[in-house]
Structure formats: structure tokens, C-alpha cells
Amino acid sequence: MKLVTFKLQFCVLFFSLMLVLSGCSTTSDSASPRQTVTLTDGWKFSKEVKGDAFAANFNDSSWEKVSVPHDWAIYGPFDKKWDMQKVAIVQNGEKEATEKTGRTGALPHIGTGWYRKTFTLPKFTEGKKALLVFEGAMSEPQVYLNGKKVGQWAYGYAYFYIDISKDLVAGENTLAVQLTNREYSSRWYPGAGLYRKVNIVVKNQESFEQWATYITTPTIASNAATVNIKTTASGSGIYLVTKILDATGREVASHKSDAVDQGFEQNLVVPEPKLWSPETPYLYTAVTQLYAGDVLKDEETIKFGIREIKYEPQKGFSLNGKITKFKGVCLHHDLGPLGAAVNKAALRRQLTILKDLGCNAIRSSHNMPSMEQLELADEMGFMFLAESFDEWAKPKVENGYHRFFEDYAEKDIVNLVRATRNHPCIVMWSSGNEVPDQYGAEGLTRAKFLQDVFHREDPTRPVTVGMDQVKQTMESGFGALLDVPGLNYRVHLYEDAYKAFPQGFILGSETASTVSSRGIYKFPVVQAKEKQYNDLQTSSYDLEACSWSNVPDEDFVLQDDKPWVIGEFVWTGFDYLGEPTPYDEKWPSRSSYFGMVDLAGIPKDRFYLYRSRWNTKDETLHILPHWNWEGREGQTTPVFVYTNYDSAELFVNGKSMGIQKKSKATPQNRYRLMWMDVKYEPGTLKVVAFDKNGKPVAEEEIHTAGKPHHLVLDPDRKTLTADGEDISFVTVSVVDEKGNPCPTATNQLNFKVSGAGTYRAACNGDATSLEIFHKPTMKLFSGKLVVLVQSGIESGDIQLEVTGNGLEKGMLNLTAKQ
């Protein structure tokens, strides 16, 4: 058996220092020798470019004014023409090419766009270093400074940096970035533009190399932990002073190195360490200072966590000595109505919802995660499987990553690992997802090459690949090579794979892919695959999957009964733009149905099925379907209950439908309580749950609603930061006169924001809706939608007004504070 033991901790590597520049935000401390400027406002953008837009004196006065992060395509309109792909999706078992109309989200992301920004850097003088750092640019960026090309990259998800020390001038500088999104380059909505941060780092010649500092914790005991810090720096006769601060800012360890050239290694001892975990996400801070003589030359402030991870045969994965199963979800990078443009408030809301679910892990699918997502995962307590590529050298799509693999794969992995390895949340790397290279000797060579690069850059974490060709990888040795064998679906092959692979454990790297539309229920209620309906929706009874996937309960059985199955990453936590399976050949359908939570961030029924297993602290008692079925009177309308209790009794208008108990008769009976013969009659559904002794301990009711009467506005937060970026997500529901939700309402609503904020977008979670997110009007879907209210840069009150024909309007007051 192959014993894989990886120990470590980590966190965020981003510099600090702050100044106020026009159109920039800077992090800074007046005493610090380093300045990091984030280029946010003051950008100009255009897709209609005539002339040499890279030239410093180019006239961009007619271009659109935007702030970065920015996604040019999310503003629409939706149209199937934008990237209509005629292709056979091999991963889905397709043999013949067919027209895929919404595969990449039906948004106008194809084409070339230009960004330009003029800026000054008062702290930059001759002899200083300056790096231009991109955290993601979609895609194939060509970068110009003051009319000169200074660099380029290929992969739209990669972090990269360019040394612009010799090209900056002391006064005004003009930065221009050309981005090109080709058709047939993605399998989902990739977004477009400078969708993640752009920073400029100004520092001394004697300074830390970019992303060079590497923090590990090689030994951990209850009384002390060793913190190992390795870094490289430019300069001679320099020395390193490091202080470790606890979460309160108290110094708990320090070390001063001898003067050396370039390379440093320090070992500091932290007494009585507090360990990082999803339950206790404790973070320390390392302040590393570079000195020449008595002069401070450079400084980095790095958050990290102390924690130990192990992967062992038969035992599986352990965190800090405790066997832990991954209760994970896969997430694409788009944020629904915000598109690919990264926003920390939106990410925090996602993770807050996942915390309530009981989720403890995230897989970035199928791309490198944003820095903000990793920072929040550290802070809020999520383990992370950081993924790199969806393609290697063999293509899935005509213009995919295979075009760049030979020249960029190693560089992209190096940047991924070095930029993020200090995050304690990351417990595993993935070098690929369902790559066609699973076949043949060349694929085996590539898998080893990539895994070796990860090991070289970070020997503390294992590497996986999401494998869908499991029989092939059992025969070829591909799966045996990996540190962690990841199976995408193929539940029927888990036993065979466990016997064939030497690692002694299996990871469900991608599971379920059950489909559902929030609040939509189809009859008769039967388990089905590839089921399609005329309204292009799927049933929220959670019994429908794709030809290659399965319903959740089949994975639950493996997770619960097989100790060598170390966890799962469900496809997906949230719906995402693109891949509208099973309707990728139908129109209109432009986003996925896979999520436990819809595109608006509203939980579906399936959310509560997972919550009943994963959230072991809070009660789950959820009834489906809704109880508004005019025209179905007397017809069979099954009722399901998702709960962490083992039994419950159902009542319809006070009449008992009997007690149901979970059993092992079928996977569904094991995890759901189901009353299959209930006849619909308007009124009240009530469920009473029992503990293991048969004592009633909880109850829940839903009611048949009357006519829609008024609107209820429920914000995720009422107080925002007045930074021009913070967002409150307001769930808008329509209810009857008694306050009962109206689950079939589709009223058209209008939104108005006044005061110290602005209307940003709305989303209703309907995969077939072609309404533009950023117009202040949208239809309800299954009685709900979400409105995004964004703060300005001034403190003050914000008012949201929501109106709809025949409804009492809804009003909400929010506050923005500095």
C-alpha cells in the first residue's frame, strides 16, 4: 500500500501599505518600505477599437468608464448566437455532435476587449522595483505600458506578474491591456475582461521575491508548534526579522537571522498553538522584515494557520489527528448576476450559506481560485481542493487550454502554488479534471510531470485528478500514480477502483450531478435520467440526474458505509452560468440545474437533503413540495421530508398520513421520509418529527396560499461598508394577506434604490430567463428573487423600493458606514 502523509498549514500572501491615489486604492503603512496599489477606478474599456489602443497618446475619451474587477459580458443580452457550439461532449457519453445553444451562458464573451488606465506612483523613484500583478485576466492578455509591450500570458485563470521597473516613469503612466476570448474555448461561462484584481507593487531593490515566502508547520504538539519559514530576497548582507502574532495581535514568537545573500530559513516555536480547522479557523500572522544594516528594506504580512493533514491507507484523511470526511461542493467561479467579476461580499454570502449547509470543503472547478475566495475560506473555515486545469495536451474544445499546455503548464502551476500555498484552507491540489489524456502512455507521463511540479513547489500536500475514465485508469496505471485517486461519478466502480489502486482510499472528487429547478415539481414522481419537459425545467423532488450521473443517496451510501471513501465534492454547491444540462440543445436555457442553491443564492429542496446529513449541530426539518396545486385536487401528490430525525408523522388538514421511518430498503428510504400516496387537498401540511425514543421533538407546517398580496424583503445584511464595492443581497418574496408564501407567483417587479447606494442587479434563479440582470425589473420565479444593493463611497442611509402590479410595495432601509 502507498502511504501518503502530508503535514502543513498556510494562508494569504498579500502585502500591506496604503496611500490614496486617483483611481487607485493602496495598502500602506507610512513606515513601510513597500507600496501596493490596487488599480480599481478610472479604467476605460472598449470592444470597438480603431487604431493603436496600446499607444500612450491614444484617444480613449469615448470609451466606457469602468471599475476593475470587471466582466464585460455579464451585461448581455442573452442570445444563443454568441458561442453556439456543435460538438459531441465525450465526458457525457455523446457519440455524435449536436448544436449546444447555452453551453457558455449565451452571453457576449467572445471577442477582443481593451482596457486602459492612466495613473501615477509618487513613491516610485529610480532604483526601485515595480511589479504589475494580475490575479486573473480573461483571457490571453497582452500588456502595454506607455506604448511598449511589457508582457503577455495565456491562461485566463492564472495569476502572473510582470517586472515593469524599467518601463515606469516618475509622472503619468498609461497601462493598456488587450484581452481576447475565442469561440469554442470553454465548456461553461468563463466571463470576460479584467475580472480579478490588478495590483502594482513598488519596493526596494533589496526585497522579497514575488510569492517566495513559504510557511509550514513541520512539528505540532499540544505545548508547542514549529513554524518553518523559507524565503528568498534580492540583496547582499541582508538579514531577516520575523515576528509571529496571534489572532489578538500579541507577539508569541520572534527570530532574527544572520546576514546572508538571498536565501533564508527560520524555525520559530509557537507555544500552546491553537490549531486551524473548519470548526476553529484560527489564524496567526507572520510579519517578515528584511533589513540591510539598520535599514528596513522590505516587509510582508502573511496570515497562516497551524494544522496537520494526513492521508493514510484504510484510515483516509485526518485533520489535526481526527479522521475527517470531506463534505464538499464544487464551485465554478461566476457569481451569478455579477458574472465572473470577483466580489468579496458575494463570496462571503456564498460561504455563509454553505456553512449553514454543514459543508466543510470546496473544490475550485475547474480553475484556479480567486485570492478573495481563499482568504474567506481561511477565515470562515473551509478546506480547499485547489484545481488547475480542465485540459492538458488533448483538447475538449477547439480553442481550449491544450493550445498552451506545453509552454505554460509548469509556469501556471508554479504561480498557483507559490501564490497560494500559505493558505491553511488548501489541503489538496488537483492537476486536472476529466482530461482526455487519461488514455495512453503520454497521459501517464503528463500526469507524473504535473504531479512532480506540485511536489517540487509544495511537498506538504497531495495531488489528485478528477477521473471519469475509471476503467482505463485502473488498467493503465494512471490512477495508481496519483497521491489521491479522484473518481468523478462512477459509483458502480468504487469497489473495483479501491481494489485496483494502491493508495488504500478513494475520493469522490465529483459526485451526484442531480438536477432540479427551485420550486418546480413534476408528476408522476419517479426516478429518471435525462428527463426533459416542455418548460425546460427539472423536478425538485431530487430524483432526476444525467445519463452519466446519479441522485445524492447513492453517494451517501458509499460515504457512510465505506471508511476508505474519504469524502465527496458534490456537483455543484451553486448553479452557474452555462452548461444547462439536460437542455444544452434547447433554447432558452442558459445556466445549470446542478446546484443545491440556485443562481440567485436561494436554497433548493436538495440543499436540505444534504443539510440533514452534513449539519450535525442544527435541526433540519423541511417539507416538499409546496402546497398550491389548483387543478390537482384528489390526485396523488407525494410528500417528502428531509430531516436529521429518523422518523416523522405527516398530517394533511389534521388527518394523519402515517409515520414514516428511515430504513435501508432503498438508498432513498435511508435518507428521506416519503409519503408516496398523499392526495392533494388545499389547506395545511404538517410534519411532526420524533427522536429515537419516539418522542415528538419538532414540527413544521406549510399552507396553501391565497392571492399574492404584498412583498417581504429580507436582506442578508442591513449595514454595509461604504467602499463602493459592498453588497446587500435582499431576498424578495410575495405572500398572501395572511403572510403565507405564494410559491407559484411570477409577478413582474420593479426596483428603485436611493440614498447612499445603487441598484446593482437582480436574479430569480430561473435557468430559462432571458431578462438582463442589471435592468431594474425582473419576474419572480417560484415566488422569489434576489435584489443586489451596492454601497457608494459615502456614509448614509440607503432605501430599496420594490413594486409590482396589484401588490403592496416593499420598502427596506439599509445603512452604509465608513
777 phi, psi to nearest 5 deg: -155, 145
∠ Cα 380 381 385 (to 5°): 120
Query: At 565, which helix (H) or strand (E)?
Result: strand 565-571
**Which grid coordinates are listed for 156?**
485566463
Q: Out of 510, 579, 725, 771, which one is annotated catalytic? A: 510
pLDDT value of position 23: 54
CB 554 within 8 A of CB 567: no
pLDDT range class, residue 91, cuts 50, 70, 90: confident
Its pTM stands at 0.95
pLDDT value of position 752: 98
Amino acid 688 reads V
The residues that bridge with 25 in the sheet, in sequence order, are 20, 38
Q: Which residues contact 277 (CB under 8 A, 6 or more apart)?
A: 307, 319, 320, 381
- Does residue 14 have a pLDDT over 70? no
Phi-psi region of 702 (alpha: psi -120 to 50; beta: other; left: phi over 0): beta
Range 456-463 average pLDDT: 98
Distance CA 442, CA 687 (A): 57
Q: Report the percent of the chain where pLDDT is more than 70.
A: 96
Q: Which residues contact 99 (CB under 8 A, 6 or more apart)?
A: 84, 85, 86, 585
- Does residue 18 have a pLDDT over 50? no
Q: Out of 206, 308, 434, 457, which one is annotated catalytic? A: 434
pLDDT value of position 176: 98
Domain annotation for the chain: domains and CATH numbers = 35-73+109-203 (2.60.120.260), 214-304 (2.60.40.10), 327-513+548-594 (3.20.20.80), 621-703 (2.60.40.10), 710-817 (2.60.40.10)
Average pLDDT in the chain: 95
Least-confidence region, from 13-27, 76-90, 344-358, 479-493: 13-27
Query: At 605, which helix (H) or strand (E)?
Result: helix 605-614
- Does residue 8 have a pLDDT over 60? no
Crossing angle of helices 371-380 and 344-357, in 10° steps, is 40
Q: Report the percent of the chain where pLDDT is more than 90.
A: 92
3-state secondary structure (DSSP) of residue 612: helix
pLDDT range class, residue 670, cuts 50, 70, 90: very high
pLDDT range class, residue 9, cuts 50, 70, 90: very low
pLDDT value of position 629: 98
pLDDT range class, residue 170, cuts 50, 70, 90: confident
CB 316 within 8 A of CB 272: no
Least-confidence region, from 87-101, 151-165, 549-563, 607-621: 87-101
Distance CA 462, CA 317 (A): 11
Q: Is the peptide bond before 603 cis (omega within 30 degrees of 0)?
A: no
Q: Which residues contact 382 (CB under 8 A, 6 or more apart)?
A: 278, 351, 354, 359, 360, 361, 362, 376, 425
pLDDT value of position 17: 31
Give the count of beta carbons closer than 10 Å to the beta carbon of residue 126.
Answer: 7
pLDDT range class, residue 258, cuts 50, 70, 90: confident
CB 532 within 8 A of CB 290: no
Length of the chain measured in residues:
818
pLDDT in tens, 777-804: 999 999 999 999 999 999 999 999 999 9
- Does residue 410 have a pLDDT over 70? yes
pLDDT in tens, 261-306: 778 999 999 999 999 999 999 999 999 999 999 999 999 999 999 9
pLDDT value of position 660: 98
Amino acid 512 reads A
Q: Which residue has the cell 501517464?
A: 444
**Which grid coordinates are listed for 540?**
425538485
pLDDT in tens, 48-77: 999 999 999 999 999 999 999 999 999 999
pLDDT value of position 89: 79
pLDDT value of position 475: 94
Range 238-257 average pLDDT: 97
Distance CA 595, CA 598 (A): 6
Q: Which DSSP string do the residues of 146-207 spell out, in sequence order?
A: TTEEEEE---TT--EEEE-TTT--SSEEEEEEEEEE-TT--SS----BS-S-EEEEEE-SS-
- HEC secondary structure over 14-55: CCCECCEECCEEEEECCCCCCEEEEECCCEEEECCCCCCCCC
Q: For 669, how many CA atoms within 13 A lie in the half-sphere containing its CB?
A: 7
Please say if 434 is a catalytic residue: yes
Please name which of 790, 792, 764, 787 lies closest in space to residue 776, comparing C-alpha atoms.
787
Please say if 387 is a catalytic residue: no
Which whole-number Å values give the CA distances from 690 to 298, 377, 644, 661, in the listed order? 62, 36, 10, 10
∠ Cα 700 615 7 (to 5°): 175
**Which grid coordinates are listed for 53?**
489602443
pLDDT value of position 26: 56
Range 361-374 average pLDDT: 98
Range 658-674 average pLDDT: 97
- Does residue 29 have a pLDDT over 70? no
Q: Which residues contact 575 (CB under 8 A, 6 or more apart)?
A: 336, 591, 592, 593, 594, 595, 597, 598, 599, 765, 767
- Does residue 2 have a pLDDT over 60? no
Give the count of beta carbons closer than 10 Å to the beta carbon of residue 598.
Answer: 29
- Does residue 693 have a pLDDT over 90? yes
User: What does DSSP assign to residue 233?
Assistant: B
User: What does DSSP assign to residue 638?
Assistant: -
pLDDT value of position 261: 73
pLDDT range class, residue 178, cuts 50, 70, 90: very high
Q: Which residue has the cell 455579477?
A: 338
Which is it for strands 684-690 and 647-652: parallel, antiparallel or unpaired? Answer: antiparallel
Range 117-132 average pLDDT: 93
- Does residue 31 have a pLDDT over 80? no
Distance CA 625, CA 807 (A): 25
pLDDT value of position 25: 62
**Which grid coordinates are listed for 413?**
502551476
Distance CA 704, CA 130 (A): 64
pLDDT value of position 440: 87
Burial of residue 314 (CB within 10 Å: 0-12, 13-18, 19+) is exposed
Burial of residue 638 (CB within 10 Å: 0-12, 13-18, 19+) is middle
pLDDT value of position 573: 98
CB 25 within 8 A of CB 35: no
